């Protein structure tokens, strides 16, 4: 009976304090794509992710009804840092869906011109609003509509305690006239949430107007989490000081049984420190606590279990090649930063094409053999099959006004001479060991793709090379030779491809630079660099995130300067979040059904090279 009464009371009191308009709610997923487009179109950082933010504590003065119901302790606010823009998971503060959607887009426009960290939260927001309205006058009507609607939601000034009234008046003045210069008084509580502004990327304290020192470096704990569909929202964080007097051995107390879930001891003193359980712990915690340990270890045993022994590893070719790498923080190319090691697959034996690919291979070979017999009209010929009427007319007009020279007035119908060389560079990282729909591995799909691609190019006679790559930090970038331009395609090459094993990480920039250097030495007029991957650049020495993306982008820019045509083929369904920035909107394609990759790759090559004659 008591539980039933309690449930009825809880439902009643929560509904009484509920002020959102659920019928007009706009979810973040509904505007995610358009928000990303608007953010980048207005000048936002291309590498920033646009994602949802979890509600967090907001220490504003609450009404008595809210205190009784226990609601409105947390509010979903918009904020950003160097890596991402975080927008509320949903917005339902206005009574119309249009206004709620407009608020989303306004926050995106604000973030495109806002700093990652504030010197004075309120004044910085005012300055950015003023800048946006001056730069984009078309946004003024939208801002006025939103400001009017927001002011209607705020509690009347005269109903607030006298200690909060000056601050509320200053906030209202700042919203109505963002260009005005206002002194914001300090109060015991933060004002009601200002939904038109961005908030700092840390827990809101009692006085958000004071420049807050960033106590917790978010990079120290953001590496605990990966970007997954189930974990779109970032965790809250707090920074504490570790008690040096606490001994590592402690007496078990039953009342402390659940306290572990609020604190996870994770060593992040070195960039290569790993914890297999860190991801699981991070997903379970509501608050991620980061503390700086002060005690030094007397000794440490460090083992690297990633690399196999020399006996079991692939065969190295030479001492390695030093390559530069881009440092986006200093905005410069660091020379000799990476060591690339060319390798041959171990224990590869000559093998015939697998029986499962025989039918597809015959079909693809027939299609590509026909390209050898394709004929095209050649213009500006001294003799030919037909008169080039356009050239003859130009010559006739010029001869009436000046001494014209015959530069070739005939068309000749002759075989197409293909003048193109191609290098296929494939990702062989450990992620390719994953299964697709519990049926086949990604690495097996990649092997089949390489084989059918090679069958197609061998049939048409275009020069080509095939390489694979993976990495373990910047001093060990593995560059696997499968076929170079001087070798003919035969059972030895098929054996190398079929013996491939996945492993390690994806340092894409160094591999692209070496592939570009190899391809640039070819004599053909057109040079195509195809990159086959299943994910974004990453490595365990801080190469993931923006570092890897920026380095890969600079490697692609350098490849284009060499006259190459780079193009990326990926099976990563989230590739539209980063590949447009690296390769351009027309420089990549996503294969949504990975099982179709082996047959799609030769078709894609044909489309990319059909005008190469």
What tokens were used for 384?
A: 């030919």
- Compute how many other C-beta atoms are within 10 angstroms of the C-beta atom of residue 346: 13
CA dist 393 and 387 (Å) reads 10
Where is pLDDT greater, at 451 or 229?
451
The torsion defined by the Cα of 547, 550, 552 and 554, in degrees rounded to 10, comes to -140
- Do residues 326 and 519 make contact, with C-beta atoms less than 8 angstroms apart? no
Q: Quick check: 486 pLDDT over 90?
A: yes
Query: Which residue spans of the chain are classified as CATH 3.40.50.410?
Result: 315-369+418-609
User: Rg of the Cα trace of the chain?
Assistant: 31
Q: What is the pLDDT of residue 225?
A: 35
> Would you state the pLDDT for residue 185?
80
Instruction: Inform me whether the pLDDT recorded for 241 exceeds 60.
Output: no
Given pLDDT bands bounded at 50, 70 and 90, which one contains residue 80? Answer: confident
How much is the pLDDT for 609? Answer: 83
Nearest residue to 601 via CA among 565, 564, 574, 570: 570
For residues 306-344, b (16+ Cβ closer than 10 Å) or e, as one string?
Answer: eeeeeeeebeeeeebbebbbbeeeeeeeeeebbbbbbbe
H or E stretch covering 146: helix 140-153
| Residue 445 vs residue 241, higher pLDDT | 445
3-state DSSP of 323-381: EEEEECCCCEEEEEEEEEEEEECCCCCCCCCCHHHHHHHHHHHHHHHHHHHCEEEEEEE
Contact residues for 479 (Cβ-Cβ < 8 A; gap 6+): 321, 340, 341, 342, 343, 467, 468, 469, 511, 514
Whether the predicted pLDDT of 342 surpasses 90: yes
Flag the least confident range among 195-209, 227-241, 489-503, 557-571.
227-241
pLDDT-derived band at 390 (thresholds 50, 70, 90) equals: confident
Long-range contacts of 384-392 (CB under 8 A, 24+ apart): 384/410, 384/411, 384/412, 384/413, 385/410, 385/411, 385/412, 385/413, 386/410, 386/411, 386/413, 387/411
Question: Whose structure tokens read 């284009």?
Answer: 560
- What average pLDDT does range 416-424 have in this prediction? 84
Contact 190, 264 (CB under 8 A): no
How sure is the predictor about 426, in pLDDT bands with cuts at 50, 70 and 90? very high
The secondary structure of residue 42, as a DSSP letter, is: T
Which pLDDT belongs to residue 50? Answer: 87
* pLDDT for the residue 424: 97
Sign of CA dihedral 544, 546, 549, 554: negative
The CATH topology of domain 315-369+418-609 is Rossmann fold (3.40.50)
Specify the range with the lowest mean pLDDT, choosing from 194-208, 325-339, 518-532.
194-208
More confident residue, 290 or 150: 150
Q: What percent of the chain has pLDDT over 90?
A: 36
Q: pLDDT of 242-259, one tens digit each?
A: 544 444 444 444 344 444
pTM of the model: 0.60
Q: Is the pLDDT of residue 270 over 70?
A: no
Higher pLDDT, 418 or 266: 418
Read off the pLDDT band of 236 (50, 70, 90): low
- 347 to each of 287, 306, 432, 498, 502, how far by Cα in Å? 50, 20, 21, 11, 15
111, two tokens: 């973030």
User: What's the rounded Cα separation, in Å, for the pair 295 and 242?
Assistant: 10
Model confidence band, residue 532 (pLDDT cutoffs 50, 70, 90)? very high
pLDDT interval class at 438 (50, 70, 90): confident
- Rounded average pLDDT over 132-154: 90
Does 187 or 203 have the greater pLDDT score?
187
User: Can you give 79-121 as a three-state secondary structure string?
Assistant: EECCCEEEEECEECCCCCHHHHHHHHHHHHHHHHCCCCCCCCH
Alpha-carbon distance of 172 to 174, in angstroms, equals 5
Quick one: pLDDT at residue 279?
54
449 pLDDT band, cuts 50/70/90, is very high
pLDDT over 80 at 548, yes or no? yes
pLDDT of residue 300: 46
Burial (CB count within 10 angstroms: exposed 0-12, middle 13-18, buried 19+), residue 251:
exposed
**pLDDT value at position 68?**
62
- Of 85-99, 270-284, 331-345, 391-405, where does the model show the most confidence? 331-345
Look at residue 613 and tell me whether its pLDDT is greater than 70: no
Give the closest residue to 282 by CA, choosing from 240, 228, 243.
228
Tokens representing residue 562 in the block: 């060499």
Average pLDDT over residues 454-474: 94
Nearest residue to 226 via CA among 18, 528, 7, 431: 431
Convert the pLDDT of each residue in 398-408 to its tens digit. 777 777 777 77
Q: Which of 206, 227, 205 is nearest to 215 (CA)?
A: 205
Over residues 576-587, mean pLDDT: 89
Q: Do strands 79-80 and 26-27 pair parallel, antiparallel, or not at all (unpaired)?
A: unpaired
Nearest-angstrom CA–CA distance, 466 and 359: 22
pLDDT reported for residue 89: 86
In this structure, what token pair is assigned to residue 91?
A: 């917005």
* Pairing between β-strand 477-483 and β-strand 464-471 as defined by DSSP bridges: antiparallel
Q: Which residue has the tokens 């993931």?
A: 544
């Amino acid at each position: 009976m008591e539980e039933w009464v309690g449930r009825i009371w809880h439902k009643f009191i929560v509904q009484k304090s509920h002020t959102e308009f659920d019928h007009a709610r706009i979810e973040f997923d509904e505007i995610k794509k358009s928000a990303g487009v608007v953010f980048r179109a207005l000048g936002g950082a291309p590498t920033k992710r646009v994602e949802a933010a979890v509600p967090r504590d907001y220490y504003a003065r609450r009404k008595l009804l809210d205190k009784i119901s226990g609601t409105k302790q947390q509010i979903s606010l918009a904020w950003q840092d160097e890596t991402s823009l975080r927008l509320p998971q949903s917005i339902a503060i206005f009574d119309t869906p249009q206004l709620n959607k407009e608020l989303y887009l306004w926050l995106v426009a604000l973030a495109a011109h806002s700093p990652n960290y504030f010197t004075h939260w309120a004044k910085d927001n005012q300055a950015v609003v003023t800048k946006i309205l001056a730069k984009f006058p078309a946004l003024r009507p939208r801002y006025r509509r939103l400001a009017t609607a927001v002011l209607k939601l705020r509690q009347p000034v005269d109903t607030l305690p006298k200690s909060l009234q000056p601050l509320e008046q200053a906030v209202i003045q700042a919203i109505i006239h963002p260009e005005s210069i206002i002194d914001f008084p300090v109060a015991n509580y933060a004002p009601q949430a200002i939904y038109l502004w961005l908030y700092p990327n840390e827990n809101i304290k009692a006085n958000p107007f004071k420049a807050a020192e960033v106590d917790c470096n978010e990079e120290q704990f953001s590496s605990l989490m990966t970007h997954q569909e189930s974990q779109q929202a970032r965790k809250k964080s707090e920074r504490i000081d570790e008690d040096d007097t606490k001994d590592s051995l402690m007496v078990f107390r039953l009342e402390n049984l659940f306290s572990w879930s609020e604190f996870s001891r994770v060593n992040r003193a070195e960039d290569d420190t790993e914890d297999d359980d860190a991801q699981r712990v991070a997903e379970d915690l509501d608050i991620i606590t980061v503390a700086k340990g002060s005690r030094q270890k007397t000794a440490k045993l460090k083992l690297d279990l990633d690399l196999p022994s020399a006996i079991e590893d692939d065969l190295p070719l030479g001492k390695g090649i030093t390559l530069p790498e881009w440092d986006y923080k200093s905005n410069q190319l660091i020379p000799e930063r990476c060591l690339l090691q060319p390798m041959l697959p171990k224990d590869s034996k000559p093998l015939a094409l697998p029986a499962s690919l025989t039918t597809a291979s015959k079909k693809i070979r027939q299609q590509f053999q026909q390209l050898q017999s394709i004929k095209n009209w050649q213009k500006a010929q001294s003799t030919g099959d037909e008169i080039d009427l356009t050239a003859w007319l130009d010559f006739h007009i010029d001869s009436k006004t000046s001494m014209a020279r015959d530069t070739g007035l005939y068309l000749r119908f002759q075989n197409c001479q293909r003048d193109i060389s191609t290098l296929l560079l494939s990702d062989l990282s450990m992620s390719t060991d994953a299964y697709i729909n519990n049926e086949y591995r990604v690495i097996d799909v990649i092997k089949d793709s390489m084989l059918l691609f090679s069958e197609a190019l061998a049939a048409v006679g275009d020069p080509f090379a095939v390489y694979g790559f993976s990495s373990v930090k910047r001093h060990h970038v593995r560059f696997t030779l499968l076929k170079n331009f001087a070798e003919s395609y035969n059972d030895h090459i098929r054996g190398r491809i079929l013996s491939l094993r996945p492993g390690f990480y994806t340092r894409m920039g160094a591999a692209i630079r070496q592939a570009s250097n190899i391809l640039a030495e070819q004599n053909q007029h057109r040079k195509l660099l195809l990159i086959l991957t299943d994910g974004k650049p990453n490595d365990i020495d801080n190469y993931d995130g923006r570092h890897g993306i920026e380095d890969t982008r600079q490697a692609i820019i350098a490849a284009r300067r060499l006259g190459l045509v780079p193009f990326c083929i990926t099976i990563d369904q989230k590739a539209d979040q980063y590949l447009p920035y690296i390769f351009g909107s027309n420089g990549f394609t996503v294969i949504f059904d990975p099982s179709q990759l082996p047959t799609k790759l030769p078709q894609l090559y044909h489309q990319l090279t059909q005008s190469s004659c």
